[in-house]
Amino acid sequence: MSITLPTAAVEGIQLTVTPFRADAVIGTIGLPALLQLVPSPKVEEDKRALKFSSGAMRRHAEIRSLVQRTLKATQKGRNVAGYARYIAAGINGDFGSGWSTPPITLWLADEPGAVSDELVPGTGIRRITLLAGSSVVAIDGETQVTALHELYDDPEQYGLTYAALNTVRLPFELYWGLTVEDARQIFYDRNVEGVSVDKNLAMSMDQRDFGTQLAHRIAEAVKVEHGGKLVSFSTFVQARKRQLTKTDPELITLSALRVLVITTIFGRPGLGLSSATVRVNDLPESVTAERIERRVVPLLSTLLAQLYPQLAARSAASAPAVLAGLGIATHQATGWATGGIPLTEGDLLDLLQSIRWEREARYWDGVAASANAAGVLNFGGGAKDSGGRVADAILYPDTESGRKIRGR
């Protein structure tokens, strides 16, 4: 007696997808299935491990090398551990709903084993089957894939379990039937053609950054008179752009306000942190986050209320370099400065009283800005370049720069 073998059944990993062009679909995939489809790039770059891998793995590594950068000894590789921790924290609920990873862009070097009819007529939703051993490469999002392999290899290290990871689903887009040249072009387009977000602006959007948190609280705490009414200073803080134009109604950017906060907390070392994420664990060892908040919020609220007329006049006080210098000077009044001359809040305000804030070369050229032949100032040097000079000019009135900004 013989058994009739199936003639149309195709076995493999099945994915429910929606097409957005004839050779590409979008969908979600369970983490175990993704890791089965896309081997660990770290393993594929390990020559010793690859030597003892299957032929399918070696073929996959060869195809991957045609369209992807290496991980080893690159910033891309160094980002993997941090990305893994971020994803683990998100899965564990540490960030609530405020976290996200981008869809992973996959390239199938072959064709799908099978494509079903529409599951729901008129929707385009179908089920495709990828054959076991198919060469699926992440042409965008590979760092994320590598991080996910790290989590699945040792979930306990990240406070996770296999049970939790097995429930994770990830968005993806999948292309097939493309040549290697086409896949390379997609890699290029995704990594080069897009306009990168300015890092300072991105930092000002990071709601888990301690400096950004305090900047928002300070902006809300300060009340200023505008149009005969008391309004929140946050009304005049531009949170969407790094630089203001003459037509913007706002007086200061959130990124510049954050620079003032960070330099107030750290002093001069804060200049190096103006475009770096600052978590609670990064704060000075000698002071707690609660103490910093209790001191910095009212201190900078008083300072901004005092400077509001200058900010409203769009004077030099609104320049990031000047705000950085103000922050360094204010650091001396926090109570945890380890160097320089300790100041009281009154001492600090007295030092600011005689400063000429007008945007004129005779006051700020060579301190916070540079002047052209016509005497027009350019504050483009930024906080890192000029913040220290501004701080010295504020703190030491009898120096050359100190006299200059005071019009002496």
What is the pLDDT averaged over residues 112-131?
92
**Does position 205 have pLDDT exceeding 80, yes or no?**
no
- Of residues 171 and 74, the one with the higher pLDDT is 171
User: What is residue 203's predicted lDDT score, i.e. its pLDDT?
Assistant: 64
Considering the domain architecture, whether residues 320 and 293 belong to the same structural domain is answered as yes
Q: Is residue 397 located within the same domain as residue 248?
A: yes
Residue 3 counted as domain residue: no
Give domain status of residue 85, yes or no. Answer: yes
The pLDDT score that the predictor gives to residue 195 is: 66
Domain with 261 in it:
201-404
How many of the other CB atoms lie within 10 Å of CB of 158? 19
Distance in angstroms (rounded) separating the CA atoms of residues 227 and 261: 28
Task: Answer for the pair 139, 186: CB distance below 8 angstroms, yes or no.
Answer: yes
Percent of the chain with pLDDT over 70: 95
Quick one: 129 and 230 in the same domain? no
Q: What is the pLDDT of residue 371?
A: 82
Sign of CA dihedral 57, 62, 65, 71: positive
Confidence of residue 249 (pLDDT cuts 50, 70, 90): confident
Domain boundary among 194, 223, 243: 194
Query: Is residue 4 included in any domain, yes or no?
Result: no
Average confidence (pLDDT) over 352-375 = 88
- Whether 165 and 217 share a structural domain: no
Kindly state whether residues 214 and 352 are assigned to the same domain. Answer: yes
Q: How much is the average pLDDT of 116-132?
A: 91
How many structural domains comprise the chain?
A: 2
Given 194, 214, 242, the domain boundary residue is 194
Q: Supply the pLDDT for residue 201.
A: 65
Kindly state whether residues 136 and 104 are assigned to the same domain. Answer: yes
Residues 262, 352 within the same domain? yes
In a domain, 72, yes or no: yes
Q: How far is CA 388 from CA 199, 267, 382, 392, in A?
A: 21, 10, 11, 6
Across the chain, mean pLDDT equals 89
pLDDT over 90 at 403, yes or no: yes
Do 18 and 163 lie in one domain? The reply is yes
Q: Say whether both 316 and 178 belong to one domain.
A: no
Residue 146 lies in a domain: yes
* Same structural domain, 180 and 210: no
The model's pTM is 0.71
How far, in Å, CA of 347 to CA of 301, rounded?
16
Q: Is the pLDDT of residue 307 over 90?
A: yes
- The answer as to whether 82 is a domain residue is yes
- Residue with tokens 């030092």, as numbered in its chain: 351
Q: What is the pLDDT of residue 296?
A: 96
Query: Using 50, 70 and 90 to split pLDDT, how confident is the model at 8?
Result: low
Joined together, the tokens standing for residue 167 give 């429930």
Residue 6 lies in a domain: no
Q: What is the pLDDT of residue 35?
A: 94
Last residue of a domain, one of 194, 222, 250: 194
Verify that 229 and 152 share a domain, yes or no: no
For the record, the structure tokens of 213 come out as 């948190």
pLDDT digits (tens, 9 = 90+) for 312-345: 999 999 888 999 999 999 999 999 998 888 999 9
Structure tokens belonging to residue 198: 């300015």
Question: How far, in Å, CA of 201 to CA of 253, rounded?
Answer: 9
287 and 238 part of one domain: yes
pLDDT beyond 70 at 199: no
Span 214-240, mean pLDDT?
Answer: 89
What is the reported pLDDT for 335?
Answer: 93
In a domain, residue 311? The reply is yes
Top pLDDT among 408 and 193 is at 408
> Looking at the DSSP assignment, which residues form a beta bridge with residue 365?
369
The kind and range of the H/E element at 47 are helix 47-51
